Amino acid sequence: MTLNILIHVLRCFAISIAFLYSCYSNQMAKEKNADTTIASKIDALLPLMTLEEKIGQMTQVRHFNDIIEEEVATRYVGSIIHTEGSTPGTTALEWQLKFKRLQEIALSTRLGIPLLFGVDAVHGQNTFDGATIFPHNIGLGASGNAELVKKVAAITALESKATGFNWVFSPCVAIPYNEKWGRVYEAFSESTELTTKLTKASIEGHQGKFSDSPIVMATAKHFIGDGSTDYGQEGGETSLSLEEVKEYLLPPYKAAIEMGVGSVMTSFNTLNGISMHAHKDHITGTLKNSLKFDGIVVSDWKGYSKYGENNIVDAGIDMVMAVDGDLEMFQKGLKKAVKSGEVSMDRIDDAVRRILRQKYRLGLFESPFPDPELIDEIGSDKHRVVARQAVRESLVLLKNEKNILPLEKNLAKIVVVGEHADSAGLQSGGWTIDWQGADRDYKGATTILEGVKKLARGEVIYDPHATNIQDDADVALIFIGEKPYAEFFGDVGHEVSDFELTLTESHQGYIDAYEKKGVNTVVILLSGRPLVSTKQIEQSDAFVAAWLPGSEGDGIAEVLFGDYNFKGKLPHSWPKSIGDYKGKYGPNFWDDSIEPLFPFGFGLQYN
């Protein structure tokens, strides 16, 4: 290279760096200006507010049961939550109109402060029948693909917005150490590093540039220690040291805050005996003071009555899910506590300031209503294409003997076995349409069996319960797995001795029945966590961990038939035996003497 060329190259490089730096500093300056403007708006608004109005802003309730519509005004409600239970209607327009009406009531109050509408959209807008449903986070963890996670989050945000929301309670950034926990699938991985990488992507996808034109506000949850309780008990005791919490559990929160996450939800568990809802050292100390989190700390369900009433506000919680009968006691109780000095006015002002800040950042004062033009986005083909890609990339191939996979499309006869093969509900897990999920189909979803039928050119027979054995089939695709569950319903016992993370007898029977007849078997496990399946893996010719893929079941068929290769890698190490759980889990994590059946990161591919 001549000297001239070298100088030219260096000059171009310097110009690009200068350009990128100026874009970056312009953006920073813009964000700073926006925040300064917001701060002065809050400075003007806050002194006008009465104590009742401030406590009202700190209140979150459901749109049914907890209030009648008019109470949005009389109780100065700050936020509405939609989760399980009655829906605002069947069509997206009905949902939008319901939330528009509530927003109008809020805007008609003296100070006209708009409402935040929050939803548990944890794998797509999963509360709306007809939305695109993505693999649960454990599957996205298996994909390890940050770009994909960003797209998934952006679509979830858009479909949530299209149904009237400006806030989602996602992502769950737990680090589950114990597969007995019923919420393992809500988290990306047992690896801090992988979780941190995907958390960043998820926040960016959900929120876009939050200070510019946010899609919705995201929530990093549940702060902190939710996935590492002793014996995996939901809401149990996390007995990790402060150093361990900092080293293993805090990095995703740090990353989320760096990405500008709008809210953080506190957790049901205790940490070294202290309820996380009342853990002032962590909420105010770590989160707000050390990590400089300037968004909203929101309690979890009925946090006020369950975890120490005014203590939780004093500890740093800004907004309270005052649901299921808590509304009156929260508003009255907090008012009394402020009057008596138990909770300081500064603490109340800090909470309200944070809530107003996010409402301004979200642009709700200028643009408070849902946009009917977004409705066509819900469950659109282009969103389903991304969901299908996520399904494909989440699949982990654990065994492939005799290169039985990929399947030839022109096999004369394929038998598909197992009720999980033909149920959108079973393939999607908890938090799908209903809180606990369901075994029924829902709108717009494609089952795995439908996917197989689309691609196979020969005969496809469905034998859901292995009662109509097809001993002349070229291959049996056997689908086994867990039934849907959510939260503590998914816990499998809180004592070392008292759990079973194994397959059901009937599912074992499906494999035995086809193995006995000498039919080649491909076993596909649909589950929210690794299950002890050593025997079944030995028995089968090929074994796939498919997690909980969501609405696009045909993504599985596309990989089984070799249109795409396997890409997924285990986001958790895979236990060999129940004995491993005894050693690995319980209060002593990280027992290095245990060898898993497959290590974290394992996953085969087609040659």
**Alpha carbon distance 99, 95 (integer Å):** 6
Q: Out of 95, 117, 169, 253, name the contact with ligand BGC by CB under 6 A.
A: 169
Q: Of 81 and 537, which has the nearer Cβ to ligand BGC?
A: 81
**Alpha carbon distance 161, 180 (integer Å):** 34
Q: Of 169 and 543, which has the nearer Cβ to ligand BGC?
A: 169
Q: Cβ distance 277 to 265 under 8 Å?
A: no
**Alpha carbon distance 118, 96 (integer Å):** 13
Q: Cβ distance 324 to 346 under 8 Å?
A: no
CA 510 to chain centre: 32
Shortest distance (Å) from residue 306 CB to ligand BGC: 11
Q: Cβ distance 466 to 574 under 8 Å?
A: no
**Number of residues binding to ligand BGC, judged by CB under 6 A:** 7
Distances (CA, A) of 35 to 200, 205, 260, 365, 366: 22, 21, 12, 15, 16
Shortest distance (Å) from residue 483 CB to ligand BGC: 19
Catalytic residue among 204, 300, 463, 541: 300
Tokens coding 471: 């001993």
Shortest distance (Å) from residue 350 CB to ligand BGC: 23
Shortest distance (Å) from residue 211 CB to ligand BGC: 25
Q: Out of 53, 120, 326, 554, name the contact with ligand BGC by CB under 6 A.
A: 120
**Alpha carbon distance 249, 269 (integer Å):** 14
**Alpha carbon distance 166, 106 (integer Å):** 15
300 binds ligand BGC (CB under 6 A): yes
Q: Cβ distance 477 to 454 under 8 Å?
A: no
Tokens coding 484: 């849907």
**Alpha carbon distance 370, 99 (integer Å):** 8
400 forms beta bridges with 542
Q: Of 300 and 541, which has the nearer Cβ to ligand BGC?
A: 300
Shortest distance (Å) from residue 365 CB to ligand BGC: 26
Shortest distance (Å) from residue 301 CB to ligand BGC: 4
221 binds ligand BGC (CB under 6 A): yes
Q: Of 148 and 315, which has the nearer Cβ to ligand BGC?
A: 315
Residue whose C-alpha is closest to residue 554's, from 404, 433, 444: 444
Q: Of 99 and 598, which has the nearer Cβ to ligand BGC?
A: 99
87 binds ligand BGC (CB under 6 A): no
Q: Out of 301, 365, 489, 602, name the contact with ligand BGC by CB under 6 A.
A: 301
Q: Provide the H-helix boundaries in 432-548.
A: 448-455, 505-516, 534-539
Shortest distance (Å) from residue 482 CB to ligand BGC: 19
Radius of gyration (Cα) for the chain, nearest Å?
A: 25
Q: Is the dihedral of CA 399, 405, 411, 416 positive or negative?
A: positive
Q: Cβ distance 98 to 88 under 8 Å?
A: yes
**Catalytic site includes residue 300:** yes
Residue nearest to ligand BGC (CB): 83
526 forms beta bridges with 481
Strands 270-271 and 274-275: antiparallel
Shortest distance (Å) from residue 118 CB to ligand BGC: 8
In eight-state DSSP terms, residue 29 is: H
Shortest distance (Å) from residue 103 CB to ligand BGC: 20
**Alpha carbon distance 140, 199 (integer Å):** 11
Binding mask 499-538 for ligand BGC (x = CB under 6 A): ----------------------------------------
Shortest distance (Å) from residue 487 CB to ligand BGC: 6
Phi, psi of 589 (to 5 degrees): -80, 175
Q: Of 182 and 418, which has the nearer Cβ to ligand BGC?
A: 182
What region does 573 belong to: left with phi over 0, alpha with psi -120 to 50, or beta?
A: beta
Shortest distance (Å) from residue 40 CB to ligand BGC: 33
Q: Of 169 and 188, which has the nearer Cβ to ligand BGC?
A: 169
Tokens coding 179: 């597969």
Contacts of ligand BGC in 98-117 (CB under 6 A): none
Count other Cβ atoms within 10 Å, centred on residue 233: 20
**Catalytic site includes residue 498:** no
Q: Of 139 and 303, which has the nearer Cβ to ligand BGC?
A: 303
Q: Of 321 and 390, which has the nearer Cβ to ligand BGC?
A: 321
Q: Cβ distance 501 to 491 under 8 Å?
A: no
Q: Of 226 and 580, which has the nearer Cβ to ligand BGC?
A: 226
Nearest-10 crossing angle of helices 3-45, 345-361: 130
Q: Of 221 and 420, which has the nearer Cβ to ligand BGC?
A: 221
Q: Of 432 and 521, which has the nearer Cβ to ligand BGC?
A: 432
Q: Cβ distance 552 to 123 under 8 Å?
A: no
Shortest distance (Å) from residue 120 CB to ligand BGC: 5
304 binds ligand BGC (CB under 6 A): no
83 binds ligand BGC (CB under 6 A): yes
Which helix (H) or strand (E) element contains residue 416? Answer: strand 413-417
172 forms beta bridges with 221
Catalytic residue among 66, 422, 487, 541: 487
How close are the terminal C-alpha atoms of the chain, in Å? Answer: 41
Contacts of ligand BGC in 416-455 (CB under 6 A): none
Tokens coding 584: 């690995």
> In the complex, which residues of this chain contact ligand BGC (CB under 6 A)?
83, 120, 169, 221, 300-301, 487
Q: List the catalytic residues.
A: 300, 487
